[in-house]
Structure 1
Amino acid sequence: MDQMGFYSGGSYESSMNSNVPLGDSISSGNISLSAYRKTNAGAAGKLLENKGFGWLLEVNEEEENQLPLLEELDIDLTDIYYKIRCVLLPLPYFRMKLNIVRESPDFWGPLAIVISYALLSIYGQFSVVSWILTIWCCGGFIVYFIARALGGDVGYTQVLGVIGYCLIPLVVMSLVIPLFSSVPIVAKALGMFGTAWSVYSAGTLLCVDELQTKKPLVIYPVFLLYIYFFSLYSGV
């Protein structure tokens, strides 16, 4: 302290050059954060410290980087929306990249569509959902086996994704058909139109270059599969 009652800067510099880490000090003094927590831990905290369980009171101050839920589940809503557009608009006029549905298969999009169709088909009988999911998996495997036997370079997950996504026209028709329930002919015509729409989309997406000359052999089992799906909805 000088004659005017002020402290010199040397004490400040010496405190800055001390061996006390900056992260373990408090601005009011040289008390470490861990010591400060121990003194304010209370009776229970002191008991744990004495027994050797003080690590239970330690707090990790570093925030862990947590990914969003959709990213952790590998759900890309933009990708699913684009694939739905590819299925609903499979004509070359719309210039959609149709091969993305086959070459970039995902799980959650087809599963959500198949479950939606199952719920619309069974009207609350949740025990039948497992049966429709089984038909989806087994029917997709049959189509995959036939496509591979014909020389097509496709995988089971690709076929499963295409079959699931191409149920979208039947989902749309199942929402429209109840509006024409009083006219059975129109309802049946809409059902067959949705089935043909699904078959055309699936055939366009599944038939790679190796299967272009054998397209009818691939479309036929796909047609039977979607006919069966529609029969589950109509009860025929």
Structure 2
Amino acid sequence: MAKEFNVPPVVFPSSTGGNTSTIGPNQTGTHQRRIPTFTPPFQPSNPNPTQHLPFMSFDVGSATASSSFSAPVFSTGNGYSTGMGGGPGSFEDELPLLEELGINTRQIWRKMRSILNPLKVNPNLHADADLSGPFLFLMAFGLFQLLAGKLHFGIILGWVVVAALFLYVVFNMLAGRDGNLDLYRCVSLVGYCMLPIVIFSALALFVPQGGVAVFILGAIFVIWATRVCTRLVVELASCGDEHRGLIAYACFLIYTLFSLLVIF
């Protein structure tokens, strides 16, 4: 005998208000279920939201046409009005980047040409000391040494500082209280007179190492650098003419030391 279960009646909401229809377990029939409608959230009440947002308006006809564009004008404190195109303080009046950094390429080239002619050195060009030219020469010297398989960048920079200190001490000890050669100018002169040694390091790449030719070239360029440096120190510093021989000996030791880096 099958066991009967009591099934509770199913209640469906009616589409005409709050009346409900009940279908029991023994009743049959069809009933259409009402599908609820939902409104999407965050729907604006105004169908045209761009009316309250004037910056989003794309009405081309309402925009005023302009045939010319003007650059923004900035006001300075001295009563001038400057723009992007010209006027006082514009970009055209700015100095080049190298001149703002204190690097004068024309002056470096003139000093370089005066050193290339050891018989006619112009000391007036070296009256204004700078370190941009010596830095370029030292980097070129280190690059040629690197091409020869020698990493000497740190040694070159350190030896130049020691050489400038050596020449500074020697000259001031010889000149006494009358000496006016400062350390900054001494570094500049030693660095600029490194140009013959730089040329020697470039030529040594094509000369067999350990031969007689490289020693002869080294002697020629050391004498060249010594003569130029001695002439500049004597002409630019006071009381230098009286001790020309000792100053030349100090310069000879300095540039001989750098030439040994190239030879060996």
Between 1 and 2, higher relative CO (CA 8 Å, sep ≥ 6) is seen in 1
Query: Shift of residue 183 of structure 1?
Result: 8.4
Aligned residue type for 1:232: L
- Verify the 8 A CA contact 1:119 1:126 in the aligned structure 2: no
Name the CA distance, whole Å, in 1 between partners of 2:206 and 2:151: 26
Name the CA distance, whole Å, in 2 between partners of 1:76 and 1:212: 30
Q: What is the TM-score normalised by the length of structure 1?
A: 0.67
Q: Any idea what the Cα deviations from partners look like across 1:197-228, whole Å, max 9, x if unmatched?
A: 11111011111341112111112221111111
Equivalent residue for 2:244? 215
Name the CA distance, whole Å, in 2 between partners of 1:97 and 1:127: 34
Q: Report the secondary structure of 1:159's partner residue.
A: helix
Name the CA distance, whole Å, in 2 between partners of 1:146 and 1:89: 26
Q: Call closer, same or farther: CA 1:162–1:177 in 2, change over 3 Å.
A: same
Q: CA RMSD in A?
A: 2.7
Equivalent residue for 1:155? 182
Equivalent residue for 1:100? 125
Equivalent residue for 1:231? 260
Equivalent residue for 2:61? none
User: Which structure dedicates a bigger proportion of its chain to strand?
Assistant: 2
Equivalent residue for 2:28? none
Q: What is the TM-score normalised by the length of structure 2?
A: 0.60
Equivalent residue for 1:194? 221
Q: What is the aligned length?
A: 178
Q: Any idea what the Cα deviations from partners look like across 1:143-168, whole Å, max 9, x if unmatched?
A: 01111222232111111111101111
Name the CA distance, whole Å, in 2 between partners of 1:118 and 1:127: 7
- Verify the 8 A CA contact 1:162 1:202 in the aligned structure 2: yes
Q: Report the secondary structure of 1:207's partner residue.
A: helix
Query: Shift of residue 109 of structure 1?
Result: 0.4
Equivalent residue for 2:24? none
Equivalent residue for 2:103? 75
- Verify the 8 A CA contact 1:122 1:128 in the aligned structure 2: yes
Q: 1:138 aligns with which of 144, 162, 168?
A: 162
User: Are residues 1:117 and 2:141 paired?
Assistant: yes
Name the CA distance, whole Å, in 2 between partners of 1:211 and 1:201: 14
Equivalent residue for 1:89? 117
Equivalent residue for 1:164? 191
Equivalent residue for 1:17? none
Query: Shift of residue 100 of structure 1?
Result: 2.2
Gaps of 5+ in 1: 1-38, 43-57
In percent, how many aligned pairs have the same letter? 24
Gaps of 5+ in 2: 1-53, 57-71, 75-81, 85-89
Query: Structure 2 matches for 1:52-71, cutoff 5 A?
Result: 62-63=83-84, 64-65=90-91, 66-71=94-99
